[in-house]
C-alpha cells in the first residue's frame, strides 16, 4: 500500500533513505526516496536514456509518446490520424504499466509538427479525451519525421497498486 515515506519505511516497503529495484508487470521499476517524496521510475529498458513514466508522490509524469512500436521503439510513419492514434495507444500503455488510468490524466502536452494540423488535432483530441478533458498545452515542433507527440501528467494519489498486485 502506498502512503507517506515514513509509513513505507516503517512497514519495510521502503528502506531508509535508500533505493531498490523490483520487477513489476514484467517491467523494471526503480524506487527511491528524495526528501519526503517517493520516486518511482517505470522503465522497460535499463539502457533507455529516460524513464517512460516517473511517479513522484501522488503525481505520474509520462514522457512523450509518439507513433512507435512498443516492442522495438521503431518509429512507424503514417498519416496524422494514424500517428495520433499510435501516440495515444502508447500513452495509455505506459499509464497502464504504471498502474494508472486515463481518467487520472490532469494535463496533456502535445507537440504537433505542422500548424496546419491543429484543426484536425483538435477534432481528434475531442473524440479521444472525453469531458471533463484534461488541461492541455499544444506547441509546434521542428521534427522532420514525427507529426505528433503526446506527454501527460496524471494525479494518482494513493490509488496506484503496489508491486505485490
Q: Is residue 146 part of a domain?
A: yes
pLDDT band with cut points at 50, 70 and 90 for residue 57: confident
- Helix H or strand E encompassing 136: strand 135-140
Of residues 155 and 158, the one with the higher pLDDT is 155
What is the distance between the terminal CA atoms of the chain, rounded to a whole angstrom?
Answer: 10
- Helix H or strand E encompassing 6: helix 5-10
Q: Is residue 128 part of a domain?
A: yes
Q: Is residue 164 part of a domain?
A: no
Q: Tell me the average pLDDT across 30-49.
A: 58
Q: Tell me the average pLDDT across 43-67.
A: 81
Tell me which residue range forms the domain holding 52: 5-155
Q: Is residue 162 part of a domain?
A: no
Q: Does pLDDT of 49 surpass 50?
A: yes
Q: Is 52 buried (19+), middle (13-18) or exposed (0-12) by CB count in 10 A? A: buried
Per-residue DSSP letter, 102:
G
| Cα separation values, 165 from 21, 121, 142, 152, 161, Å | 16, 36, 41, 24, 6
Q: Is residue 165 part of a domain?
A: no
Mean pLDDT, the chain, rounded, equals 77
Q: Which of 83-92, 109-118, 138-147 has the lowest mean pLDDT?
A: 138-147
Q: Is residue 163 part of a domain?
A: no
| Among the listed residues 23, 2, 6, 24, the one whose alpha carbon sits nearest the alpha carbon of residue 15 | 6
Of residues 48 and 113, the one with the higher pLDDT is 113
| Cα separation values, 39 from 17, 103, 115, Å | 11, 22, 36
Q: Tell me the average pLDDT across 109-119.
A: 95
- The answer to whether the predicted template modeling score (pTM) of the entire model surpasses 0.75 is no
Q: Is residue 160 part of a domain?
A: no
Q: Is residue 50 part of a domain?
A: yes
Distance of CA 150 to the CA centre of its chain: 9
pLDDT band with cut points at 50, 70 and 90 for residue 77: very high
- Helix H or strand E encompassing 82: helix 80-97
Our CA angle for 47, 34, 48, nearest 5°, is 10
Q: Does pLDDT of 1 surpass 60?
A: no
If one counts the domains in the chain, the total is 1
Q: Is 74 buried (19+), middle (13-18) or exposed (0-12) by CB count in 10 A? A: exposed
For residue 61, the domain's CATH number is 3.30.1330.40
Residue in the block written with cell 497498486: 161
Amino acid at each position: 500500500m502506498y502512503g507517506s515515506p515514513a509509513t513505507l519505511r516503517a512497514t519495510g516497503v521502503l528502506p531508509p533513505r535508500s533505493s531498490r529495484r523490483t520487477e513489476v508487470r514484467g517491467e523494471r521499476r526503480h524506487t527511491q526516496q528524495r526528501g519526503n517524496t517517493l520516486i518511482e521510475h517505470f522503465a522497460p529498458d535499463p539502457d533507455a536514456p529516460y524513464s517512460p513514466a516517473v511517479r513522484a508522490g501522488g503525481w505520474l509524469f509520462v514522457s512523450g509518446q509518439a507513433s512507435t512500436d512498443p516492442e522495438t521503439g521503431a518509429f512507424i510513419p503514417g498519416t496524422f490520424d494514424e500517428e495520433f492514434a499510435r501516440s495515444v495507444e502508447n500513452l495509455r500503455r505506459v499509464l497502464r504499466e504504471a498502474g494508472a488510468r486515463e481518467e487520472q490524466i490532469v494535463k496533456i502536452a502535445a507537440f504537433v509538427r505542422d500548424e496546419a494540423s491543429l484543426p484536425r488535432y483538435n477534432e481528434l483530441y475531442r473524440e479521444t479525451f472525453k469531458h471533463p478533458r484534461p488541461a492541455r498545452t499544444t506547441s509546434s515542433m521542428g521534427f522532420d519525421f514525427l507529426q505528433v507527440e503526446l506527454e501527460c501528467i496524471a494525479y494518482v494519489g494513493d490509488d496506484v497498486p503496489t508491486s505485490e498486485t
